[in-house]
Amino acid sequence: MIVYILFLLAFFIDVNSLISFNKRKLLRLDGICKNFDFVENDSDNKSIISFILLKLSGFVSRSKLFNVYGDSNERKYLDIFGFDYSYFVSLKICSSFLFSLIVLLFSFLINLEIFYLIFVCIFFGFVGFKFPNFIFKQKRKWHFSRVEAGMADALDLFLVCAEAGLAMESAMECVAVEMMSLNKDIAEEFRITINEMRIGSDRIKVIEDFGKRTGLVAMQRLSGALIQTFETGSSLVSVLRVLVSEIREDSLIKFEEKAARLSVVLTFPMILFLLPCIFIIIAGPAMLGIFGVLKN
């Protein structure tokens, strides 16, 4: 307990010594960016938690301790959700320390033995370290579902842009801009692909990553169709028109499957709520009559 208190005291003293320096640096950067309309001036809204995470993220980015953690797709989706990789690892460290500290304080209230105290602190520290991963996976799953839901609209817009005479990169950029207000997730996927195509020379590899990143069948089919236009020189409009019709047919089949399962889904509520009421209405008077006869 004393070690924890001393560690916290030293850590907060170190953080507070950097607050004034970081504030001056942020104010200077905000003043520069404000002249070019880059960001809004929100340096006054920074909390001490933000400074703690910022300091830890700087330590993580300088060290090689967590450089092997996470794959490239995970880092890309951290960028989509507005999280820097080192900032995310810092959040995991703070979460682990916070979980252990809460359990430690609670264990002193129930007078837990030292052996069980160490075991519980290590266990909940591990749980706290993995807790941001759980939140991230749930958000990533929601992102995939949103991408799948907006795929049909994005392909329709992609086809319209291609029929208007735009090149593939310009059409994808138009889809990313126009879909931002309708479905931000699918727009971010197109935006990442456009940025990679601009800085990378191998466009086929970028388009392959575009299909593999989410693992969705529709994205993989779009990726394969775009690669086909590069390799065979076929018309982008004709390929997209065939793909859009296939995606629409698949969406219609999914809706028909959901409608077919609806009767099965409604069976359980019907048995649970409707049949007892029907039984009471039909057999209730007869049962009351029988009870009256038996009572007399």
What would the pLDDT profile of 56-76 be if each residue is shown by its tens digit?
555 555 555 555 445 555 666
CA proximity to 123, closest of 98, 92, 90, 99: 99
The answer to whether 94 and 52 have CB atoms below 8 angstroms apart is: yes
Look at residue 229 in the predicted model and tell me its pLDDT.
Answer: 84
Angle at 60 between CA 19 and CA 86, to 5 degrees: 90
Half-sphere exposure for 153 (CA within 13 Å, toward CB) = 16
Domain range list for the chain: 2-27+43-146, 150-251
Q: What is the mean pLDDT of residues 35-57?
A: 50
Q: What's the pLDDT band for 45 if we cut at 50, 70, 90?
A: very low
228-236: list long-range contacts, CB under 8 Å, 24+ apart. Answer: 229/168, 230/203, 230/204, 231/204, 236/162, 236/168, 236/171
Look at residue 41 in the predicted model and tell me its pLDDT.
Answer: 42
Judged against a pLDDT cut of 50, whether residue 36 lies above it is answered with no
Residue 165 DSSP code:
T
Q: What is the mean pLDDT of residues 171-175?
A: 88
Share of the chain above pLDDT 70, in %: 70
Render pLDDT for 239-251 as a digit per residue (tens, 0 to 9).
Answer: 888 888 888 888 8
Distance of alpha carbon 202 from alpha carbon 109, whole angstroms: 61
CA distances from 148 to 16, 75, 135, 165, 186 (A): 46, 21, 20, 26, 8
Angle at 141 between CA 137 and CA 144, to 5 degrees: 135
Q: What is the mean pLDDT of residues 191-212?
A: 82
Q: What is the mean pLDDT of residues 103-116?
A: 78
- Is the pTM of the predicted complex or chain greater than 0.85? no
Q: What's the pLDDT band for 26 if we cut at 50, 70, 90?
A: low
Joined tokens for residue 65: 């301790």
b/e map 190-214, b = 16+ CB within 10 Å: bbbbbebbeeeeebeebbbbbbebb
Look at residue 65 in the predicted model and tell me its pLDDT.
Answer: 52
